[in-house]
Amino acid sequence: MGTDSSKYDMIIIGAGPAGMATAIYASRMGWNTLVLDKLIVGGLAYTTPIIENYPGFSEISGPEFADRLKKQAEKFGTEIKESVEVIDIKVGGPEIEVQTPLDTYIAKVIVLAMGTTHRHLGVPGEEKLKESGVSYCATCDGPIYKTRKVIVVGGGNSAVTEALYLETVPAREVSLIHRRDQLRAEESLQKQILENSEVKIVWNSVVTEIIGDEVTGVKKVTIKNVKTGEEQQKRVKAVFVAIGILPNNKLAKKIGVKLTDNGLIEVDSNQRTNIPRVYACGDITPGQGQISVAVGEGTTAAISAFLDMRGGDWYGNE
């Protein structure tokens, strides 16, 4: 199909595991493929300290996993542009236009794999101190706080994983603040943090304020017990927020892609959206939120697009 430098057979928006799996398959099938991401390759997987549930790797860090994805895609000819934000998409014509602040790219097919973003606490001090001690990525920022007191907010897999990682940095003290009286993380992670770590868990509690300034950073947090209403202040140097995710669906809304009540992109079993030649995969679609699932969906999206454009199936039936 396309050969012009600004024209591609497929453009993938999002360079997480789903988008990169799509790219690997599309490029191996001979398609001229471009991946665009406003950040870097890996998506939220990059921010995961240790990945233990991806087949073939008993343990691999998020950054290493992302690097392997990038190298594999590039090996097969995928063009990857990081730190490039897509600001508009135009559909409905014979080709699809993908616009960035500096360039416009043309594709026969696009795949939406924008994934999700971290949910914020929405408390005083959070936004002001985002670059000064409030973080959403322990892998990225944890080593800065070696020998310091830190807290993690949340009770799911991400929160527990980040708390365990920060303990190995090692932070001087790691506390996990959770609004309920039991964790939501999978059993293996619960066992690690409850039986084999020194992470201090503060149950039935939420952070209501983060105190500090941009120069000296976070100084302390206010913690409220949701059952008693009692408040206390705790001196810490960093707050790692891991309370869930939100879909990056702005572009999808803009072009009229059908969404679920939760803001995720509706797809069929072949990862097709309601708009012809627009596919979606990964955490931006309904599913289990697992890397292995995202990779499978990315694979499906690439193969489905290839077959749809070819007009047949793997067995040569036209």
Instruction: Show which residues are catalytic.
Output: 137, 140-141
Q: Measured between alpha carbons, how far is 300 from 26 in angstroms, rounded to an integer?
A: 10
Question: DSSP secondary-structure letter at 226?
Answer: T
Q: Measured between alpha carbons, how far is 283 from 86 in angstroms, rounded to an integer?
A: 18
Residue 118 sits at the vertex; the CA angle it makes with 112 and 122, to the nearest 5 degrees, is 135
The alpha carbon dihedral of 123, 124, 130, 134 has a sign of negative
Rg (CA), the chain: 21
Token output for 317 = 């039936």
Least Cα distance to 175 among 109, 237, 226, 107 occurs for 237
Q: Cβ neighbours of residue 276 under 8 Å, at least 6 residues apart?
A: none
Beta carbons of 294 and 124 less than 8 angstroms apart: no
Q: Measured between alpha carbons, how far is 276 from 121 in angstroms, rounded to an integer?
A: 38
Q: Measured between alpha carbons, how far is 288 from 293 in angstroms, rounded to an integer?
A: 7
For tokens 């895609």, what's the residue?
Answer: 73
Beta carbons of 3 and 32 less than 8 angstroms apart: yes
Beta carbons of 174 and 199 less than 8 angstroms apart: yes
